[in-house]
Structure formats: structure tokens, C-alpha cells
């Protein structure tokens, strides 16, 4: 394989206009099929059920979505900073060119979601449900993703940097090409065929070998 073929495509960042209008959630139409565009939204608490919302070219800061339910949410070119998605139902969400920075997503339901050009940075994903998700060019960096469920998902160019994956389940998900060398992998779950092609450190190899009942001795 040539060096050119081994190179991963750059993850595209959100494309926001230079000027965004200031807004609060209280003044935004959240009825089904609403299109929310070109805004900087600060604060606010959304905790109800919302249907068919489209959010485009927005920066969302310090908002709480705890326990909210979003049906068919579509996000494109959105930056979330300091937001709380704990216990939020985002199943089936479509995400294109989005960033989650310093966000709390403990127990968030992302099942059946599609992520394209996603960046999760300095955030908490602990106990998240990411079953049957599709990652197409994604980065998880300096974050906690412990005890998550990634079963039966598809990773197409997933980058993981300094991520705590302790106790996370990957069964039925091919980890080929995923570089775990800077990550915590104690107690992760996978099938033998899932780990084929993943990159791990020498220290991690001893941990993973023990998972298959093999004793490692000096």
C-alpha cells in the first residue's frame, strides 16, 4: 500500500458565516419542519420533544438539552460549545460538519445516527448508546467514552486521540484502521474478528490478549 493510499482525508470543519444573528431558544420557532439558520444561540433549556428540526450554520453555546427527545433532527455546519446533552434522545440524527466542544453527553442515545465530518473534543460521552451508527470521517479527541455501546456500527475513518474507552463495547463493529495507541482500552468488548487491522500499543496488546484467556508471562 502506498503512502498516498494510507493518508486519511481531512475532516471538514463547520462552515459558518462571518456574522451570525444573536438569538435565544425562547424566540426560535421549534415547530416541526422548522429551519434554524445563521444564528448564535446562547443559554436556554430545551427538555421537551421536538420533531423534524433542521439546524444550519449555527453556533450553540451553554445550552441544556437534558432528557429532550429529538425525532429526525438534521444538523449541518453547527458548533456546540459547553452544552449538556445528558440523557438526550438523538436517535437517528443526521450530522454533517459539526463540532461538540466541552459538551456533556452522558447516557445520550445516538443509535442509528449518521455522522459525517464529526468532531467531538474535550467532551464526555460516558454510557452513550451509539449502536448501529455510521461514522464517516470523525474525530474523538481528549474525551471520555467509557462504558459506551458501539455494537454493530460502521467506522469509516474514525480517529481517536486520548480517549477513555474503558469498558466500552464494540462487538460486531470492525475496528480496522482505528488507532487506539493513545487511548484507554481496559475492559473493552469485541469479537476476535472485530479487532483485525486496529492499531494498538505493545502495552495494550497484553491487556487485549488476556481478554481471550491467554496468559502473558515474562
Q: Determine, yes or no, domain membership for 1.
A: no
Which domain CATH number covers 21? 2.160.20.80
Matching residue, cell 488507532: 179
Q: Determine, yes or no, domain membership for 117.
A: yes
Secondary structure class of 195 (helix, strand, coil): coil
CA contacts within 13 A on the Cβ side of 61:
8
DSSP conformation letters of 204-218: HHHHHHHHTT-----
Give the pLDDT of residue 209. 75
| Cβ atoms 164, 142 nearer than 8 A | no
Q: Determine, yes or no, domain membership for 150.
A: yes
Chunked into runs of 10 residues, the chain (218 residues) has average pLDDT values of 53 95 95 96 95 97 97 97 98 97 98 97 98 96 98 94 97 95 93 91 81 63
Give the residue numbers spanning the domain of 118: 12-163
Q: Is 57 left (phi over 0), alpha (psi -120 to 50) or beta?
A: left
Give the pLDDT of residue 216. 58
Q: Determine, yes or no, domain membership for 131.
A: yes
Q: Provide the domain count of the chain.
A: 1
Give the pLDDT of residue 205. 84
Q: Determine, yes or no, domain membership for 146.
A: yes
| Cβ atoms 95, 79 nearer than 8 A | no
Give the pLDDT of residue 29. 93
Amino acid at each position: 500500500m502506498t503512502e498516498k493510499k494510507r493518508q486519511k482525508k481531512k475532516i471538514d470543519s463547520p462552515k459558518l458565516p462571518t456574522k451570525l444573528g444573536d438569538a435565544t431558544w425562547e424566540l426560535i420557532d421549534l415547530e416541526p419542519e422548522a429551519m434554524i439558520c445563521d444564528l448564535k444561540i446562547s443559554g436556554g433549556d430545551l427538555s421537551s420533544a421536538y420533531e423534524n428540526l433542521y439546524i444550519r450554520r449555527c453556533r450553540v453555546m451553554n445550552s441544556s438539552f437534558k432528557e429532550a427527545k429529538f425525532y429526525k433532527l438534521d444538523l449541518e455546519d453547527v458548533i456546540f460549545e459547553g452544552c449538556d446533552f445528558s440523557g438526550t434522545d438523538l436517535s437517528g440524527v443526521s450530522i454533517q460538519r459539526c463540532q461538540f466542544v466541552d459538551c456533556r453527553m452522558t447516557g445520550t442515545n445516538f443509535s442509528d445516527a449518521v455522522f459525517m465530518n464529526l468532531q467531538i473534543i474535550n467532551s464526555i460521552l460516558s454510557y452513550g448508546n451509539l449502536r448501529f451508527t455510521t461514522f464517516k470521517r470523525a474525530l474523538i479527541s481528549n474525551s471520555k467514552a467509557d462504558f459506551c455501546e458501539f455494537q454493530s456500527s460502521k467506522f469509516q475513518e474514525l480517529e481517536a486521540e486520548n480517549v477513555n474507552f474503558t469498558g466500552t463495547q464494540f462487538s460486531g463493529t470492525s475496528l480496522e484502521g482505528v488507532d487506539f495507541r493513545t487511548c484507554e482500552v481496559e475492559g473493552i468488548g469485541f469479537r476476535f474478528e472485530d479487532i483485525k487491522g486496529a492499531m494498538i500499543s505493545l502495552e495494550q496488546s497484553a491487556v487485549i490478549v488476556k481478554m481471550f484467556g491467554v496468559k502473558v508471562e515474562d
